[in-house]
Structure 1
Amino acid sequence: MVINNFPVILGEGSMYERLRRGGSSAFDPEIAHAGMLYDEIGRKVLRDTHREYLDIGQKYQIPMACGTPTWRAGDARVKKSAHAGISVNADAVLFMVKLRDSYGPSASPIVISGVTGPYGDGYLPNEAPDIDAARELHKPQINELAEAGVDFLKALTLPSFAEARGIAQVMQTTGLPYVLSFVIRPDGCILDGTPLDLAIDTIDQETHWSPMHYAVNCVHASVFSAVCTAIRDSNPTAAERLQGIDANTSAKTPEELNGLTEIDTEAPDQFGRNIAALLENFGITHLGGCCGSSTEHIAALARRISQKEIANI
């Protein structure tokens, strides 16, 4: 399945934050919602939440990407969790494959991303490892996800250029398509201060198997739009490589968002309009939600795409 051949791919909305706040006792303090795989009630909640999003893709006949619940299931965290010694990432892939297969062979396409996250806090670049450490820290999880049968790999919420480079060096060895997704500021820099276009150019140059594309997440559409405009004007080659967003529903800074007790969000229709505009204005084709986004937000985005017939599917 050549993922980039789809004219548009709809992503899911919030999973980690939605489930973290959902009160499940199976939400593990180390590996987060991956722990819900091993609890009967938690597993059902996890399945039902994914299905709410995937049903939207089926309703509007838009290809959809869903991610494994492994954003916090790196090797070090698994070893400290209640599920040490278990192949958590492989189990998560199997869970997602069974969920996809339940829609049947004639369903609108569903692709599965094997998700990894930052070693430290996604909003704190000072917690990120250097290139060599990132390569070793992320290798076990990336290899387990790749061997378990995902369609592509995706590293989310990256605050550091160095960590992203280490991850890319591992992901390129799997032979799978992969995506690196950064947290950025309105000035166009990753949280560690590296200009996003410089990160894109450098990683493309130093990898023999470059990312399928680059993305951002935990960022409001207005921030991404401003950054896209600036990069398109100053570095069009890098701009072409920027193809995805999992958008936050809040325009607050990472510092303001970190530790918020209440979700800061916007109306679903506004979200749908903002994200669809990124496809229209910049050709951003992988469109989903992050913190604050719900089923209603993704449904509004799907309606907007469908009504405008942006995607010639």
Structure 2
Amino acid sequence: MKGPLPQLTRLVLTDGGLETDLLFNRGIDLPYFASVVLLGTAEGRAALEAYYRPYLELARRLGTGFILESATWRASPDWAAPLGLQQAELDRLNVEAVELLHRLRAEFAGDALEIVVSGCVGPRGDGYDPGRIMSVAEATDYHGHQARVLASAGVDMLSAITMNNVNEATGIALAAAQVGLPIAISFTVETDGRLPTGDSLMDAVRAVDEATGGYPTYFMINCAHPDHFAAVLRDRAAWTQRIRGVRANASRCSHAELDAMTELDAGDPVELGRLYRKLLDVQPQITVLGGCCGTDVRHVTAVAEACVSLPNA
């Protein structure tokens, strides 16, 4: 797309919990939670298109912008072998994930609907457990591969989703700088509002900004219920102004509880919408609204309808 990212000046929606929706609501098997494998078949590509379309229709109906996030959260190099793929095959699936988004944008975009194509980058390991923490240099090198592949496919920006430690988030930001793309860094937090490493959200945002010269275009929070982080955002401060997006879970459960679940906890979409509205009343700079685990188009609809009347919409 040409020009500045629309989410910097207006309300923009994005999707919900892609993997949990496909797995629990639609009965589609996702090995290792990797939705990128769906790009390998016509049926899989059709399932992804069917997933994205209602969100685009919602954004068009409500007059917001929209961020199309690629199905590449679990598609960095370490996941090739577990998925039974050669690296070149996984790279090609990354490209095809972006190509699908470009086709959808060509179909839906217009003067009334600005659509951003974003390349999604996930953590090297588990989203909930930082495990062995890489050095910043190692993280930059590791994530640089996928960043280059997504950049070659023509994404407008990158989104680092479910970041659970500062070094990896910093490395991805530096990898984005190497390919000249804007990036949103989205941290996940535990029920106490802190990263799984114990770092506060404030310290994490400040550390990434300090290490990268403030390179991230903005920060986000994802894969946690608003009750888990609302208290952290109860005051307006310089660091909170860097947070422009929320992709919350439907469930109030902890990450450990979610990991053990065999059935989806879809929470209450209407209540979730009210909680987002309360967040935006305190932090009106938040302009990117979507969902994470357990959410689907019902939740994003409730969130959007609760928030579209706010001034920044």
The match for 1:254 is 255
Choose 243-252 or 72-81, whichever is displaced more. 72-81
1:17 matched residue in structure 2 = 20
> What letter is aligned with 1:49?
Y
**Would you say the 8 A contact 1:180–1:213 is kept in 2?**
yes
Count of aligned residue pairs for this structure pair: 305
- Equivalent residue runs for 1:217-228 within 5 Å: 217-228=222-233
- Name the counterpart of 1:204: 209
Is 1:176 aligned to 2:181, yes or no?
A: yes
CA distance in 1, matches of 2:42, 2:51: 14
1:300 and 2:305 correspond? no
Matched, 1:48 2:50: yes
CA deviation after TM superposition for structure 1 residue 160, in Å: 1.3
How far does residue 292 in structure 1 lie from its aligned partner after superposition?
Answer: 1.0
Give the alignment partner of residue 36 of structure 2, picking from 34, 58, 74: 34
Q: Please report how far the alpha carbon of residue 39 of structure 1 lies from its aligned counterpart in structure 2 after TM superposition.
A: 1.1
Shift of 1:129: 2.9
Q: Structure 1, residues 269-293: CA drift from partner, whole Å, max 9, x if none?
A: 1111111222222122211101111
Q: 1:130 Cα deviation (Å)? A: 3.1
Aligned with 1:288 (options 271, 281, 290): 290
Q: Deviations over 1:221-273 (max 9, x none)?
A: 1222111126x4xxx11111112110101111112212311112222211111
Contact 2:289 2:300 in 1 (8 A): no
Partner of 1:74: 76
SS of residue paired to 2:234: helix
Residue in structure 1 matched with residue 310 of structure 2 by the alignment: 310
SS at match of 1:219: coil
> Relative to 1, partners in 2 of residues 1:59 and 1:191: Cα closer, same or farther, differing over 3 Å?
same
Change (3 A) 1:188 1:104: closer
Q: How does 1:222-237 map to 2 (within 5 A)?
A: 222-229=227-234, 232=236, 236-237=237-238
3-state SS of the aligned residue for 2:28?
coil
Q: Distance in 2 between matches of 1:174 and 1:209?
A: 16
C-alpha separation in 2, matches of 1:39 and 1:215? 32
Give the structure 2 partner of residue 108 of structure 1: 113
- Cα separation, 2, equivalents of 1:262 and 1:127: 29
Q: What secondary structure does 1:102 align onto?
A: helix
Change (3 A) 1:103 1:131: same
Query: Partner of 1:261: helix, strand, or coil?
Result: coil
Code of the aligned partner of 2:72: T
Q: Distance in 1 between matches of 2:199 and 2:18?
A: 28
SS of residue in 1 equivalent to 2:131: helix
Structure 1 residue 186, shift from structure 2 partner: 4.5
Q: In structure 2, how many angstroms separate the alpha carbons of the residues matched to 1:202 and 1:267?
A: 35
Aligned partner of 1:7 in structure 2 is 10
How big is each residue's C-alpha offset from its partner over 1:87-131, in whole Å with a ceiling of 9 and x where there is no partner? 221111111111111114344111121101011111111244332
Cα pair 2:118 2:157 within 8 Å, conserved: yes
Tell me if the contact between 1:305 and 1:311 (Cα under 8 Å) persists in the aligned partners: no
> Are 1:136 and 2:141 an aligned pair?
yes
Would the aligned equivalents of 1:74 and 1:141 in 2 still touch at CA under 8 Å? yes
Give the conservation status (yes or no) of the 8 Å contact 1:8–1:311. Answer: no
The one-letter amino acid of 1:23's match is: G
> What secondary structure, in the 3-state scheme, does the structure 2 residue paired with 1:125 have?
coil
Alpha carbons 1:31, 1:73 under 8 Å: kept: no
Which deviates the most, 115-124 or 32-41?
32-41
Kept in 2: contact 1:119–1:127 (CA 8 A): no
Output one character per residue of 1:9-61: Cα deviation in whole Å (capped at 9) or x when no partner. Answer: 11211101111333335x3x257111111211111111010111111101111
Task: Check 1:49–1:99 CA distance in 2 against 1; reply closer, same or farther (3 A cut).
Answer: same
Change (3 A) 1:17 1:278: same
**TM-score (normalised: structure 2):** 0.91
Residue ranges of structure 1 left out of the alignment (5+ in a row): none
Cα shift at 1:205: 1.7
Give the partner amino acid of 1:266.
G
Q: Any unmatched runs of 5+ in structure 2? A: none
Q: Secondary structure of the equivalent of 1:291?
A: coil
Backbone CA RMSD of aligned residues: 1.9
Task: Name the CA distance, whole Å, in 2 between partners of 1:258 and 1:272.
Answer: 24
Partner of 1:163: 168
Q: Distance in 2 between matches of 1:280 and 1:2?
A: 25
The answer as to 2:194 corresponding to 1:189 is yes
